[in-house]
Amino acid sequence: MIAKNLNYNEYNAYYDRYLQKIPGNLELGILLLENREEFLGLLDTIKLEDLSYSYAEGKWTVAEVIQHIIDVERIFQYRSLTLAREPEIKLPGFDHEAYVPASAAKLRSLKSLKKEFKAVRNAGISLYQSFSKEMLLSQGFVSGSSTSCRALGFITAGHTKHHIEIFKEKYQI
């Protein structure tokens, strides 16, 4: 399944901003693998002192952004699993702004963040590979919007790509 085959009734229009950042012609598994390597490559360029850097007052630190990416990935995997097992379910949203300060990302090492991201992404790749075509197409409601299991996988990659671009543009990484 490829992103360009997604229908607009499979996700909230808010996520178009992430889907536009990924190639629409890659299978989900390949996309997640390539996206993983791109992000890990970026993490390899980060220095210890970069972790506490924020490009402006009130903006997240590098460590907080990395933790945010991991948290969102986990949440999207949970949502995908739930939609695959219980189509038509209604799942609540989450406040990513509240998760960041609660994450204690500032206390994490770069090595531990990289290890966690890799483990979470690998688990996600395995999860999506385990789904049948029917499961990937199953839909429910997330934050009040009709959402498909497969859309969440593609959005995950787009979300990571979004933050890669922010790291390069705003954090100069």
Render 114-140 in DSSP notation, one character per residue.
HHHHHHHHHHHHHHHHHS-HHHHH-EE
Q: Could you count the other beta carbons within 10 Å of the beta carbon of residue 113? A: 21
CATH of the domain at 102: 1.20.120.450
Write out pLDDT tens, residues 50-67. Answer: 999 999 999 999 999 999
Instruction: Name the amino acid, one letter, at 16.
Output: D
Q: pTM to 2 decimals?
A: 0.96
Q: What is the pLDDT of residue 102?
A: 94
Host domain of residue 136: 3-169
Write out pLDDT tens, residues 63-118. Answer: 999 999 999 999 999 999 999 999 999 999 999 999 999 999 999 999 999 999 99
9 touches 146 (CB < 8 A): yes
> How many domains does the structure of the chain reveal?
1
